[in-house]
Structure 1
Amino acid sequence: MKTTRRGIFKAIGGAAVLASAAAPLFAQAAAAASGNAGNLLKVRLLLNGGISGPHAFFCLAHERGYFRNAGLDVEFSPGDGAASVVTRIVQEGYDGGYGDMNALIKLAALKPKNCPTAVHIAFNTTPLTIGVRKGGPIKDVKDLKDKVIIGHPIDAAIEAFPPYAKLGGIDPNDVHILRSNASMAANAKEVVDGNVDGVFGFVNTIIAALRSIDIDGRETLDFLEFQDLVPEFYGNALMMTPDFIANNPEAVKGLVAAVNRGIIETFKDPEAALDAVAKMAPKFRREVDGPRLMGTLRVEMAHPEGAIHGIGDADDKRIARSISLMVDACRLPRTPKAEAIFTRAFLPPLEERAKPVKV
């Protein structure tokens, strides 16, 4: 039986909140984990959100000194979405970030100069979705025609929507996208209240946001998941700027090795990984972050491809297909080369890479 996020998040029950995005605490946790950071290379990474369960492998790598052993003092900063990470990395002077692969393809097609490159792909399945009212008229993609779907101005699901819509048999321009700066909770509530027809996002993010205002997203929404129509798409990846890669190739290799080891140990002992998250996320709640982590391990990081290439790597044909789909559907001005989007040059040997494990 196929594991789905819908099944996994039944475990969340009646309590779900979003993890805090307190940047100063991230820095304090990083400093505590790294000891004497004076002799270490500082690496500033922008995350796709505040520290939460799905970031457990980063936290575990910090706590166990994997970054420090690689000569790195890694500082995490909270982001505001997997798509916006991609543009903010260079604009705000970060060395790298953890963001969406499809948004990276789009940026590389539009503004190739100084565009980051993915060096480790953590999600070999895309988590993008559209939440719609449970039992409502929207059952599949074709039902989205002439409907109003709300989302954050730079949302990964909005960025990747055109290929999803086209493969579903509709013109993406026939769907009305309402870009809103309101919180995810407020946007999702607009769907529940019937004011709009759907909301872009991640399943777990939408559910957690609604629970923060005492609404059970599992009981009120259904989800149209992009992976069902666009299996070629990857999800979140660790990406670094071209300058950092060129100037610090050994640091990139050490960073990727530490992340890889963090993933291996997280699969081996999710509870220990959650303990590490608790030390970095001020509003950590195990009953929430636990299911979110398990969902990540069982879905986003569990594609069969991972057993072949290892988590972090990608299939070249799949990358090329993702690029082609994004360029065609989004009418992008150029087609980036696959090597500009992703390089496996810094991955550990195949036998040392993390592999999906049933948890």
Structure 2
Amino acid sequence: MRFTLDWKYQGIHSWYFVAQDKGYFRDEGLDVTIDQGEGSAATITRIMSGAYDAGFGDINAVIQQAAQKPADAPVMVYQLYNRPPFSVLTKADSGIATIKDLAGKKVGGPAGSAATRLLPALLDRNGVPAASVEVLNMQPNLQEQMLIRGEVAASLVFNVTSYVNLIQQGQDPDKGFRWIDYADNGLDLYSNGVMVSQKLAREKPDAVKGLVRAINRAVKDVMADPATGVKAVTAVEPLIDGKSEQRRILFAMDRLIVSPETRAIGLGDVDDARLARSIDVMAQAYELSSKPVPGKVFDRSFLPPLDDRRVPAATN
């Protein structure tokens, strides 16, 4: 099985390598090759092309493809990020504390990123006229730098990425900056998880169940001991900084993965009504010609039993 990540090797990919190192894939009769990614959109296209069987990417991109190419779109089988990583990042002393404070300000974001594309919907839900906010198109690798230099008042970021970028630039992301999450301000979307091709789901359902079981075991291992995840991912990519990646793992656990909903329905699952609302948001934001039903986007039939997916008690 060929599995593609959403980006370069990071701590938030550690569970896949833990599953490999501990033999969890092998226990399921799977031989999994894990490759770096080039963005969540690329995860979708790689699977749709047949080059990959499965991958880690954004359910919102699945929604778009399910609306446009329902016969070819991948299906999500294990929802890992219960909250989206989209945030408005601003300096702690900027005077921006709410979405309403963006009125009259200049914000920066990559033109094609989900955080930028969803800004009009975010502003609308908070009663802010879109015309009152100036959006500066910028390269992803310049987002934190331009904010630090004061060239923009705020930046539209993927928080799990920007958090470590700030650390690597000598900043304190906890004390020096304010994170205003889209999820807390009207866009309570899901985000990244494990998806597979329709062909794999149809022809080899037991393999998909095994893949999900193995990953779920590894996620729980990393939750219980993040250092296990750091060790696994730095063995694959020795050039990354283990301390920074451990902070990224902890940030992701706290801000993206563990939530009251996760504790109620378990790792990997979704609430169908909430997913339906997410589909409505995406249909409006991306002007989709149709709206797929939740069952065409997410298939829970491959999930292990709830008792196997409960959040470990040690996780804060």
What TM-score do you get using the length of structure 2 for normalisation? Answer: 0.89
Given the alignment, which residue of 10, 13, 32 partners 1:55?
13
* Aligned position for 2:100: 142
Q: For 2:55 and 2:301, how far apart are their aligned partners in 1? A: 18
Please tell me whether the aligned partners of residues 162 and 326 of structure 1 are also in contact (alpha carbons under 8 angstroms): no
Deviation per CA, 1:79-119: give whole Å up to 9, x if none. 23335433443257222221122232233233434111100
Q: 1:276 to 1:200 in 2, by over 3 A?
A: same
Q: For 1:281 and 1:156, how far apart are their aligned partners in 2? A: 27
Q: For 2:101 and 2:172, how far apart are their aligned partners in 1? A: 24
Query: Is the counterpart of residue 67 in structure 1 residue 25 in structure 2?
Result: yes
Please show how residues 287-302 of structure 1 align to structure 2 within 5 Å.
287-302=243-258
* Aligned position for 1:196: 152
Given the alignment, which residue of 191, 212, 220 partners 1:235?
191
Q: For 1:335 and 1:209, how far apart are their aligned partners in 2? A: 36
Please tell me whether the aligned partners of residues 6 and 56 of structure 2 are also in contact (alpha carbons under 8 angstroms): yes
Cα offset for 1:244?
2.2
Given the alignment, which residue of 58, 66, 70 partners 1:108?
66
Q: For 1:98 and 1:74, how far apart are their aligned partners in 2? A: 13
Given the alignment, which residue of 292, 301, 312 partners 2:268?
312
Q: For 2:264 and 2:278, how far apart are their aligned partners in 1? A: 19
Cα offset for 1:165?
2.3
Q: For 1:168 and 1:358, how far apart are their aligned partners in 2? A: 36
Q: For 1:98 and 1:330, how far apart are their aligned partners in 2? A: 22
Q: 1:288 to 1:140 in 2, by over 3 A?
A: same
Deviation per CA, 1:296-326: give whole Å up to 9, x if none. 2233221112222210011111111111222
Instruction: Specify the SS of the correspondent of 2:43.
Output: helix
Please show how residues 262-301 of structure 1 align to structure 2 within 5 Å.
262-301=218-257
Q: 1:134 to 1:299 in 2, by over 3 A?
A: closer
Q: For 1:64 and 1:210, how far apart are their aligned partners in 2? A: 32
Please tell me whether the aligned partners of residues 58 and 262 of structure 1 are also in contact (alpha carbons under 8 angstroms): yes
For the aligned residue pairs, the C-alpha RMSD in angstroms reads 2.4
Q: For 1:73 and 1:225, how far apart are their aligned partners in 2? A: 38
Instruction: Specify the SS of the correspondent of 1:73.
Output: coil
Cα offset for 1:172?
4.3
Q: 1:63 to 1:172 in 2, by over 3 A?
A: farther
Q: 1:327 to 1:146 in 2, by over 3 A?
A: farther
Q: For 2:262 and 2:161, how far apart are their aligned partners in 1? A: 24
Q: For 1:87 and 1:77, how far apart are their aligned partners in 2? A: 14
What TM-score do you get using the length of structure 1 for normalisation? Answer: 0.79
Q: For 1:83 and 1:170, how far apart are their aligned partners in 2? A: 29
Identity of aligned pairs, percent? Answer: 31
Instruction: Specify the SS of the correspondent of 1:311.
Output: coil
Q: 1:102 to 1:144 in 2, by over 3 A?
A: farther
Cα offset for 1:66?
0.7
Query: Is the counterpart of residue 346 in structure 1 residue 284 in structure 2?
Result: no
Given the alignment, which residue of 146, 151, 154 partners 2:112?
154
Q: Which runs of 5+ in 2 are unaligned?
A: none
Q: For 2:106 and 2:66, how far apart are their aligned partners in 1? A: 29
Please tell me whether the aligned partners of residues 224 and 312 of structure 2 are also in contact (alpha carbons under 8 angstroms): no
Q: For 1:179 and 1:104, how far apart are their aligned partners in 2? A: 25
Q: 1:59 to 1:209 in 2, by over 3 A?
A: same
Please show how residues 59-138 of structure 1 align to structure 2 within 5 Å.
59-91=17-49, 93-138=51-96
Cα offset for 1:260?
0.9
Question: More deviation in 64-73 or 130-139?
Answer: 130-139
Instruction: Specify the SS of the correspondent of 1:72.
Output: coil
Q: Which runs of 5+ in 1 are unaligned?
A: 1-42
Q: For 2:66 and 2:242, how far apart are their aligned partners in 1? A: 38
Q: 1:253 to 1:267 in 2, by over 3 A?
A: same
Q: For 2:222 and 2:290, how far apart are their aligned partners in 1? A: 39
